[in-house]
Structures are given as C-alpha cells and as structure tokens.
C-alpha cells in the first residue's frame, strides 16, 4: 500500500481534518508521508488553498506544490465548473503522473479528494474515477448531520461496485445539534463495509490544532 484516498459523503464533512490526522498518525509510525490534494477550489488570489496548506504543513516529505495540487482554482465552486471558467480541462493522467512522483519519494501518500465521492471533474470523469485510476484504498469521511446515513450508504455502494479496496471510514461530528448521534453511528457501524477508524468529536475551527489523535486507528495494513 503506497497511499490512501480520503473522500467524503459531501463537501464540508472534515476530509482535510481526517487527512491531516492520518498523516500525523503515519508519521508517528516513522513513515515518510506525502500529501496530495489533486484538485482545490477556493483560495485567496496569490495564496495556496487552505486545505493544501494544512496538508503541506502536516506532511514530512518535501514536495513540489504543482505535484501536491496539480489543479488549483480560485472560485469555491464545483471543480469542473471552475475549470471550464478558466479554460482548463482536469485530466486524470496529469494527476496520476503527479501522484507517481510523490509516491516515489514517500512511504505513503495521503490523497484528499474534493467535495463528495461523485463530484464531477470534467464532462466525463468524476472523483470516483480518479480514485479508481489511482487504485488506492478508500477512507470515507461521514459528516454526522441529518441525511448522512443515505449519503454514506450510497457512497459505500458505489465504492464497493467499483471494486476499490476499503481502508475504512470515519464519523466526524460536524453538527453539534444533530439528534440521535449515537444511534446514527450505530447504524453506520452495522451497515458500512470496512472498519470504523474512529469517531472525531466536534471541534470549532479555532480548536482544530489542539485535536488529539487518540480517536483515530490506522488501517490494518498501515498499523504495524
């Protein structure tokens, strides 16, 4: 296993927080860990996307930003629309080539997708196609909020149908007011394939840096 593909049930479910936590946990095992955000959308002109910055700060392998984030768009909109507006086509082979460079210099590459599992990248391909092209085990981040059960099960069904390996899934508390949180997590445990790697408590944005890694378990293949 040279990497993990971190995806989510939707946008804003905490993929970056989980990806950063995975990177730190892997580094604690003495591994050289590179990070990748193949497509980012939403950044201040002249500055890196905040998700890309967080991943770069977490990784311990020096990498060219053009490999870490081959496609960067300023507008915080769907990637294929952002690409169209700038006259760019997102190409899976460009991303795969960048991933190969990162993998050659690292023990593990943690790749964070954009948006949800099936967010479009161009007129034909979507994020699921990219995960399949890279062939990496998938970590599904489930944002705990109303509607998450259906979103998680539909994503899991698609991942399984594509015969991609499961690294596991993470439940992330994104809505502190959600009713029946424990019951929803129990339903996910009963229905999702692959192990639950952890349940991350709700953290306001200003407290993210204080998060502990005690809640997170590494995928079995990387735990030893």
Q: What is the 3-state secondary structure (H, E, C) of the chain?
A: CCEEEEEECCCCCCHHHHHHHHHHHHHHCCCCEEEECCEEECCCCCCCCHHHHHHHHHCCCCCCHHHHCCEEECCCCCHHHHHHHCCCCCCHHHHHHHHHHHHHHCCEEEEECCCCCCCECCCCCEHHHHHHHHCCCEEEEEEECCCHHHHHHHHHHHHHHCCCCEEEEEEEECCCCCCCHHHHHHHHHHHCCCCEEEEECCCCHHHHHHCCCCCCCCCHHHHC
Is-catalytic flag, 15?
A: no
- Residue 76's domain comprises 3-223
pTM for the complete prediction? 0.93
pLDDT by residue (tens digit) across 103-152?
Answer: 999 999 999 999 999 999 999 999 999 999 999 999 999 999 999 999 99
Q: How confident is the model at residue 212 (pLDDT cuts 50, 70, 90)?
A: low
**Selected catalytic residue, list 2, 37, 101, 161:** 37
CATH number at 179 reads 3.40.50.300
Q: Number of folded domains in the chain?
A: 1
pLDDT at 33 over 70: yes
């Amino acid at each position: 296993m040279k990497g993990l593909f971190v995806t989510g049930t939707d946008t804003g479910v905490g993929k970056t927080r989980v990806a950063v936590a995975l990177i730190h946990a892997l580094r604690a095992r003495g591994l050289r860990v590179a990070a990748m955000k193949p497509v980012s959308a939403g950044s201040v002109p002249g500055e890196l996307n905040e998700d890309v910055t967080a991943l770069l700060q977490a990784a311990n392998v020096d990498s060219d930003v053009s490999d870490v984030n081959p496609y960067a768009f300023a507008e915080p909109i769907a990637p294929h629309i952002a690409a169209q507006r700038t006259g760019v086509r997102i190409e899976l082979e460009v991303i795969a080539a960048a991933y190969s460079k990162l993998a050659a210099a690292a023990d593990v590459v943690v790749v964070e997708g954009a948006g949800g599992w099936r967010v479009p990248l161009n007129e034909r391909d979507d994020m699921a196609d990219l995960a399949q092209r890279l062939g990496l085990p998938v970590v599904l981040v489930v944002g705990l909020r109303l509607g998450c059960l259906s979103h998680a099960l539909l994503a899991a069904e698609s991942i399984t149908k594509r015969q991609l390996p499961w690294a596991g899934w993470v439940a992330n508390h994104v809505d502190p007011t959600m009713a029946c949180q424990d019951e929803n997590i129990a339903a996910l445990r009963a229905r999702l394939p692959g192990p639950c790697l952890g349940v991350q408590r709700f953290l306001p944005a200003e407290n993210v840096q204080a998060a502990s890694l005690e809640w997170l378990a590494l995928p079995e293949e990387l735990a030893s």
